[in-house]
Amino acid sequence: MPEQPGQPERHPLHLREGDPYGPHNLPYGVFSTADEPDRRRIGVRYGNHVLDVHTAATALGSAHSDLLAHPHLGALLAAGRPVWRAVRADIRTWLGYPAIEPFLHPLADVTLHLPFAVADYVDFYASEHHATNVGRIFRPDGEPLTPNWKHLPIGYHGRAGTIVVSGTPVVRPSGQRRAPGEEVPSFGPSQRLDIEAEVGFVVGTPSALGERVPQSAFRDHVFGVCLVNDWSARDIQAWEYVPLGPFLGKSFATSVSAWITPLEALEAAFVAPPARDRELLPYLDDSELPPAALDIRITVTLNGHTVSEPPFSSMYWTAAQQLAHLTVNGASLRTGDLFASGTVSGPRPHERGSLLELTWSGRDPLELPDGKRTFLEDGDEVTMTAWAPGPGGAVVALGEVTGRIAPAAGQAVLRGR
Amino acid sequence: MPEQPGQPERHPLHLREGDPYGPHNLPYGVFSTADEPDRRRIGVRYGNHVLDVHTAATALGSAHSDLLAHPHLGALLAAGRPVWRAVRADIRTWLGYPAIEPFLHPLADVTLHLPFAVADYVDFYASEHHATNVGRIFRPDGEPLTPNWKHLPIGYHGRAGTIVVSGTPVVRPSGQRRAPGEEVPSFGPSQRLDIEAEVGFVVGTPSALGERVPQSAFRDHVFGVCLVNDWSARDIQAWEYVPLGPFLGKSFATSVSAWITPLEALEAAFVAPPARDRELLPYLDDSELPPAALDIRITVTLNGHTVSEPPFSSMYWTAAQQLAHLTVNGASLRTGDLFASGTVSGPRPHERGSLLELTWSGRDPLELPDGKRTFLEDGDEVTMTAWAPGPGGAVVALGEVTGRIAPAAGQAVLRGR
């Protein structure tokens, strides 16, 4: 193993005390190395190393080696929960063998890729605090929540083809936006480019068309969790979204973390959801089910400065409820479906998961060491990290999602020819 | 060739006079035969036969044989316009050879499948007559069109995973709907199940993230056209769609025709779009471009009775404008992206493309020979056919899209466990 510059020599099989990427975590990703840049392989993160799991499985023997032989997680995701458990148990066993060392690559030496082909992408709107803030900002004289909000988890489909892995630059989108007081829209780069801190759920096991997936089957269908930054151009969104919802204000890019944390690593993080104000229809009622909220603590930084700490446990709707709602009309699930929570905002001001809320639509700029900020400027870098309680007091880190804003594409007039 | 029962013997290479599936049409699909039900093959429709194009290409020699060796159209779609032209020219040549006869299967003997993997599905809202009718029905005291409607083609993402091929039964969806005058929603089968007659456009050539596709590049990216029935549960949709747009009211099924008609077959069908009332931003301006509307005449039948004849040429926004809008924020295209026009409704009452409009939200039931109809009943079968002008007075038929309503899935109470 080459030593990393500036770091003390450390055996890759020995983690530092309390490493949040220990054997209790083991998230999956896809990586390549500098000497074989086109060879994408499934990797599992272990401390500051990445285990090449197919090579390890081939060398050490595994009944599931074939599932790990792909340049993406698809076959593993489709294999179902018993196999997910078996493969995870295999990997934990291997990490006890010194013979595994040749299959560990320093994290700093690899390139990480989008780990699975996204089938359908659904984005929910499940934080009461977020929805209330947005309602107050956009409709100051009306009820902040729409009448349906507490009866169903509101969601919509997003663009799967523009989901990008953490680290991909995000080009500022251009589009139509109408300035306050103007009657007609103008065209240009978004001037209200925003973030949305979210948690995403990756579907493994598909379901048949016409079949409902009850909340109790959540763990059979959902493989794991990632962080999501649902970049949003608020000015484009505001002009386009009535009556059919967000479209170009969201579809230019959605960033996801490179690591998918298996639900099995989050056993200790399940907690009770907030009390519900309304009686729910039976398919959404979870009052007699095991706790299904997740105690994931997110930190959002802008150019290295913490701007928000959204608590995922405060979400009104759980992921299990979202899955039950998504399929209650008979819509089928495919391997690789991704559904995200919607912006995570807690009850306190410093827990808000978007700049729209943090700056109250630009009225209250953030005071950062390098200047004031309302919405994102070119060159700004946003990073979201998160952790959850693990077994026996351990910490489970979720893979970070980061992205830097690149200037809008050339402003050449496109006359459609 | 086995003779079909009850039909006069006819050589498959001889079409009847004016056959709308002649050598000027040649739509692509995917089929299997009864003796090899798991072997999906690319087929081209010729009269009432299906040409097994890969077997033909192998036997007769083609530089593009590999593209046709798949169980779907993906590789052909991705190959780009010069190859689409070359393959089409090859097929037209082969149809002049008697040696091709063994590769023709009677249409009645084959099973047709979804011909391509749908990447992202976008649905537009591009008929002024439809949007005006819907606005009048839902907001009788307000302006029927939202302020943005004439400035941009409104669209949203739908569920790609529930797009099904013509002939697939459509199970009546269940979901939340709130009855008029009620405060809380109830759960049950949709009572306002509707159709939407649309035309879909299939993307072949992808585009890069951050790259705009101008209207002038429409023909380089879009391979062909299909018919779409965007089944809609109006009661579910009405309760859920504010503020983020349609979701479960649409996501249970969207039917597409089994045949994709290449744009090359529609050269004679391009006509001028309707006059625009507003000056458009440059990327949407098509005043100096060749005519980009399509003269496609749709017929909608319900249990065999014609209920509507929507004229596609009446759409306010063209598919080229929709593509330019969809990518103006830098969103990338993938091979297999499908974007649909939105409900096609013409200016006259019998040209409306949804039951919502045809019955004015149920107020004016349709009088059919087998009874009155407001929305769809179990067992109803809806079929959409269409044709367009072809070269020299020929007729180009588009593949039909048909579906029958199956009763809602069992009403067992799903208590989430």
Q: How far apart (Å, rounded) are the C-alpha atoms in residues B124 and B317?
A: 9
A174 contacts B330? CB cut-off 8 A: yes
Q: How far apart (Å, rounded) are the C-alpha atoms in residues A312 and A293?
A: 8
pLDDT of residue A370: 86
Across the interface, of B160, B247, B332, the residue whose CB is closest to A156 is B247
Q: State the catalytic residue, choosing from B64, B105, B113, B130.
A: B130
pLDDT of residue A175: 98
CATH of A28-113, one of 1.10.3330.10, 3.40.1410.10, 3.40.50.800, 2.30.30.230: 2.30.30.230
pLDDT of residue B272: 98
Q: How many CB pairs under 8 A join A and B?
A: 242
Q: How far apart (Å, rounded) are the C-alpha atoms in residues A174 and A409?
A: 8
**pLDDT per residue over B16-31, tens digit each?**
889 999 999 999 999 9
Residues from chain A contacting residue B282 (CB–CB below 8 Å): 187, 413-416
Mean per-residue pLDDT over chain B, rounded? 94
pLDDT of residue B2: 42
pLDDT of residue B370: 86
Which residue, among B305, B316, B287, has the nearest Cα to B372 in the 3D structure?
A: B305
CB A247 within 8 A of CB B155: yes
Bridge-based pairing of strands A222-229 and A197-203 is antiparallel
Known catalytic residue at B130: yes
B125 contacts A171? CB cut-off 8 A: no
Query: Which parts of chain A register pLDDT below 50?
Result: 1-9, 411-417
Distance from CA of A245 to the nearest CA of B (A): 4
pLDDT of residue B13: 78
For the segment B92-106, the average pLDDT, to the nearest whole number, is 94
Residues from chain B contacting residue A243 (CB–CB below 8 Å): 146, 154, 241, 245
Distance from CA of B68 to the nearest CA of A (A): 24
Per-domain boundaries in chain A: 28-113, 121-406
Across the interface, of B171, B282, B416, the residue whose CB is closest to A416 is B282
| CB neighbour class for B364 (10 Å; exposed up to 12, middle 13-18, buried from 19) | exposed
The token pair at A255 is: 């960033």
Model confidence at B10, pLDDT cuts 50, 70, 90, reads low
| CB neighbour class for B267 (10 Å; exposed up to 12, middle 13-18, buried from 19) | middle
pLDDT of residue B415: 40
pLDDT of residue A6: 47
Q: Which of A293-302, A351-360, B92-101, B114-123 has the lowest mean pLDDT?
A: B92-101
Check pLDDT > 90 for residue B61: no
Distance between first and last Cα of chain B: 55
| CB neighbour class for B182 (10 Å; exposed up to 12, middle 13-18, buried from 19) | exposed
Residues from chain A contacting residue B342 (CB–CB below 8 Å): none
B289 contacts A417? CB cut-off 8 A: yes
Q: Indicate if the alpha-carbon torsion angle A324, A328, A333, A339 is positive or negative.
A: negative
Element (H, E) at B237: helix B234-240
Across the interface, of B164, B178, B328, the residue whose CB is closest to A248 is B328
Range A121-406 classified under CATH 3.90.1640.10: no
Distance from CA of B120 to the nearest CA of A (A): 6
Pick the residue of B156, B323, B329, B341 with the most A CBs within 10 A to test the interface with A by mutation: B329
Residues from chain B contacting residue A114 (CB–CB below 8 Å): none
Check pLDDT > 50 for residue B416: no
Q: State the catalytic residue, choosing from A130, A157, A305, A350.
A: A130
**A68 in helix, strand or coil?**
helix
pLDDT of residue A10: 58
Residue with tokens 């450390």: A10
Name the residue of chain A whose CA is nearest to B183's CA. Answer: A147
| CB neighbour class for B191 (10 Å; exposed up to 12, middle 13-18, buried from 19) | middle
Model confidence at B180, pLDDT cuts 50, 70, 90, reads confident
Across the interface, of A185, A245, A330, the residue whose CB is closest to B244 is A245
Check pLDDT > 50 for residue B273: yes
pLDDT of residue B413: 41
B154 contacts A157? CB cut-off 8 A: no
A329 contacts B233? CB cut-off 8 A: yes
Pick the residue of B244, B287, B332, B335 with the most A CBs within 10 A to test the interface with A by mutation: B244
- Categorise residue A268: left if φ over 0, alpha if ψ from -120 to 50, beta otherwise: alpha
| CB neighbour class for A3 (10 Å; exposed up to 12, middle 13-18, buried from 19) | exposed
Pick the residue of A168, A186, A221, A329 with the most B CBs within 10 A to test the interface with B by mutation: A329
Residues from chain B contacting residue A236 (CB–CB below 8 Å): 329
**pLDDT per residue over B216-253, tens digit each?**
999 999 999 999 999 999 999 999 999 999 999 999 99
A154 contacts B240? CB cut-off 8 A: yes
**A132 in helix, strand or coil?**
helix
Check pLDDT > 90 for residue B11: no
